[in-house]
Amino acid sequence: MRNFSYTLIISFYILSSCKSSNLNYITYYNKVNEIDSIYRFKKDTLKVISQYRTLFKKYPPKNQDRIAEYYTYISMADQHDKNFGGKKSLYKLIPLVAPYWQFEKKNVKLIALYKKYGIDEQEMEREVAKWKKSLNKKMVDSFTVAFKRDQDSRKDSNHDNMIVNDKKNAEMLKRMFENEGFPGLQKIGLYNGDFFMPSGPLLLHLANYPEYHDYFKTKLLEYVKSGELPPRDYAAMMDRYNLQVLKTEPPYAIYTGSSTIKDSTIIDRNRKSIGLPRMKHSQAIIKEK
C-alpha cells in the first residue's frame, strides 16, 4: 500500500505538471476567491462543495495559506457525507501540507480526518519523508545560500554590503529561473532542516532595484500564472517598488495594507488581475483567522 500511495502521488504530480503548463492559475485563484466568498458571506456549504469539486477536476489543486481550499473542500465534503475522492484525494493533499508539516502534524482535525479513512500518522510521516526526498536538492542548496545571504546582510549595518548581496541574489535568481524554474514549495519546500527560507522576503528585498524591475515583473507574473508563485508575494514586491522607488500608490495594497487607500475599486480590479481576493474579502479572511 505504501509503495502504491507514493507512486500515486508522484504520478499525480507528473501529470499535474504537464496539465498545469497549459492552465492559467490566475483564473483558478479568482474562482477560488469566488467560491470562498460564497462560503464566508453566504454560508452555502453545499454549493461550495459542488463548485470546488468542479474546479479541482480542471485544475490540480493548490492549498493556499489562509483559504486552504483543497483541505476545506475535503473537510466540508466529509462532514456532509459527499464524495470527495476518499484516500486518493487525501494522498493528493499530503504534498500540499508537507511544507508546513512541523505544524500540520499537530493539527488534530487533519490527523483525525486521515485516520477516519485508514491513513495513520506513521503513514503520513512516511509520505512527507518521501516528498522531502523528491525536492530539487540543487535548488534547495542554492536558495539556502541566497536566503542566508539576504538575512545576514540585514543583520549588519553595512548598507553597501547589503546592496552587493542583494544584487548577487538577483543574478542568482535569474540563473535559477532560466535553468531550473521557480523555487516554489514543491521544488524546495519551506525549510532546509531547521532553516526557514520562504521565497517571499527575498523577492521583496529585490523590489528596490530598478535595473531588475522589468525582468522580475514579467518573469514572476509567469510564475503566478503557472501556479508556482503565490499572487500575494508578487503583489507585495510590486507594491514595494511603487512605494519606495516610484513614490506612487501601491497597485495591490498588500505591502502596506488598506488604511491609506483612496480608491478601493482600482485596488480590487488590480487584485483580480493577478488572482487576489478583493479588499473586503481579504479582511473577512484575516478576521476569521
| Residue range(s) defining the domain that contains residue 275 | 137-288
Instruction: Find the mean pLDDT for residues 183-203.
Output: 97
108 and 176 belong to one structural domain: no
11 and 105 belong to one structural domain: yes
HSE-CB at 91 with a 13 A cutoff on CA atoms is 23
126 and 160 belong to one structural domain: no
At residue 21 the predicted structure's pLDDT band, cuts being 50, 70 and 90, is low
83 and 154 belong to one structural domain: no
Place of cell 491513513: 119
Greatest pairwise CA separation for the chain in angstroms: 60
Q: 99 pLDDT exceeds 80?
A: yes
Phi, psi of 85 (to 5 degrees): 105, 0
CA distances from 81 to 57, 103, 120 (A): 19, 27, 21
Instruction: List, as own/partner pairs, every contact residues 280-288 make where C-beta atoms lie below 8 angstroms and the sequence separation is at least 24, other chains included.
Output: 281/33, 281/36, 281/37, 281/40, 282/258, 283/258, 284/40, 284/41, 285/36, 285/40, 285/66, 285/67, 286/66, 288/40
236 and 270 belong to one structural domain: yes
**Best CA proximity match to 186, nearest among 92, 84, 254, 88:** 92
Q: Which residue has the higher pLDDT, 222 or 10?
A: 222
123 and 240 belong to one structural domain: no
Q: 3 pLDDT exceeds 60?
A: no
The DSSP annotation for the chain comes to -HHHHHHHHHHHHHHHHHHHTT--HHHHHHHHHHHHHIIIII--HHHHHHHHHHHHHHS-----TTT-HHHHHHHHHHHTT----HHHHHHHHHHHHGGGHHHHTT-HHHHHHHHHTT--HHHHHHHHHHHHHTS-HHHHHHHHHHHHHHHHHHHSS-HHHHHHHHHHHHHHHHHHHHHT----HHHH-SEETTEE--HHHHHHHGGG-HHHHHHHHHHHHHHHHHTSS-HHHHHHHHHHHIIIII-S--SSS-SS-STT-S-HHHHHHHHHHHTPPPHHHHHHHHHH-
Domain end among 117, 133, 149: 133
165 and 74 belong to one structural domain: no
At residue 15 the predicted structure's pLDDT band, cuts being 50, 70 and 90, is low
Instruction: Find the mean pLDDT for residues 51-78.
Output: 97
Domain end among 102, 133, 164: 133
At 196, list the grid cell.
526557514
CA distances from 268 to 157, 188, 282 (A): 38, 32, 10
8 and 121 belong to one structural domain: yes
Task: Print burial letters for 71-96: b (CB count within 10 Å at least 16), e (below 16).
Answer: bbbbebbbeeeeebeeeebbbbbbbb
124 and 148 belong to one structural domain: no
Whether the pTM exceeds 0.95: the reply is no
- Report how many domains make up the chain: 2
Cβ neighbours around 219 below 10 Å, total: 16
Domain end among 75, 101, 133: 133
68 and 20 belong to one structural domain: yes
Average pLDDT, the chain: 92
147 and 124 belong to one structural domain: no
Q: Please report, as a single letter, which amino acid is at residue 136.
A: N
> In the chain, what percentage of residues exceed pLDDT 90?
84
User: Picking from 42-51, 146-155, 183-192, 279-288, which range would have the lowest pLDDT averaged per residue?
Assistant: 279-288
